[in-house]
Amino acid sequence: MAAYVDLDLVGDGLIKLPFVRALRHACPAAEITWIAGRGASAYAGVLAPLMPGLLDRVVERCGVGGGLRAAIGPPRLDLLIDTQSHVGTTLALRALLPRRFVSAAAGYWLSGVRPGRGYRKPRRLIRRLLDLVELATGAPAVVDGALRLPEATRARAAALLPAGPCYVAQAVGAGGRHKAWPAERHIELARALAGRGIVPVMILGPAEADLAAPLAAALPMARFPLRDLPPDPALTIALGAGCAAAVAADCGAGHMLAAAGVPMVSLFGPTDPDKLAPWATRLTILRAQDFGGGGMAAIPLAAVLAAVAQTIL
């Protein structure tokens, strides 16, 4: 079986990770090929360490014509799931004549199986992909396909966050600072958590390098496990697995922490959680609009602290 995407940047790959896990859960014995026809896939790059046990093969830059046919090769595909929406691409994929073909393009009219009457396309991007899994398999999508992090990565995370304390991860940044909760609020939250005997774990990416020193000076009780390390999504996920809860805005780190299975408090303002919220086992969403503003600063410390406290209980 195979799933087709146009391309996967790192953010795309993180959003689609629950889809990949649901595919593996639904088809535990299948050979699954991931096809990025028009570009590269993060699943063959920075996210490759997450793929053992989930994907058997990743094909990149093969187009939708002869290159795709050659990349797939015989035998005929038992199942092909088309995740993109360009009708021309969908027609080319359908011409491969898989035994089962599932696509939401053109309102599912080119798909071999369609949703029932009254179906409405979900706003949430990952929910749309999980609907494709359900159509393909005839069963509810279950997001617990094996996530086999490298043993060395798990060991490193355990050394960085030794067992014992109650940890809460705080992802400080976002893809744009306008999407991030203000750093000073993160400082206030970390101090409040420390006052309750909780150890704050500050998750910083390369874009937050300038915040590392002032945050460390303000929060001597906090852990900064990723400071001065190269980006490593697998390590971030492994660190999240050692935390009791996590706080993140609309950012890649939020999706990584959600993949760890940690309960999430997700903060949104200029972006839409109905489309972009992470797929978490337990999720609390706080929106700036619910507190009278559109910017992230409108989300008050008290609300975030209360959500974290309720999540940990």
pLDDT tens sequence across 203-258? 998 889 899 999 999 999 999 999 989 989 999 999 999 999 999 999 999 999 99
3-class DSSP state for residue 169? strand
Which one-letter DSSP state was computed for residue 224? -
CATH 3.40.50.10490 assigned to domain 152-312? The reply is no
Does 2-137 match 152-312 in CATH topology? Answer: yes
Each residue's pLDDT tens digit, 55-100: 999 999 998 888 888 888 778 899 999 999 999 999 999 999 999 9
3-class DSSP state for residue 129? helix
> What's the order of all strands across the beta sheet hosting 57-60?
57-60, 33-36, 2-5, 79-82, 100-103
Distance set, CA 219 to CA 6, 169, 196, 224, 283 (Å): 43, 14, 15, 10, 26
CATH 3.40.50.2000 assigned to domain 2-137? The reply is yes
pLDDT score, position 40: 93
Quick one: how far is CA 21 from the chain centroid? 11
For the chain, the structural domain boundaries read 2-137, 152-312
Q: Report pTM.
A: 0.93
pLDDT score, position 16: 95
The answer to whether the beta carbons of residues 101 and 94 sit under 8 Å apart is: yes
Alpha helices in the chain (DSSP H): 10-26, 66-72, 87-94, 125-137, 151-160, 183-195, 209-218, 233-241, 252-259, 273-276, 301-312
| Contacts of 213 by beta carbon, 8 Å cutoff, 6+ apart | none
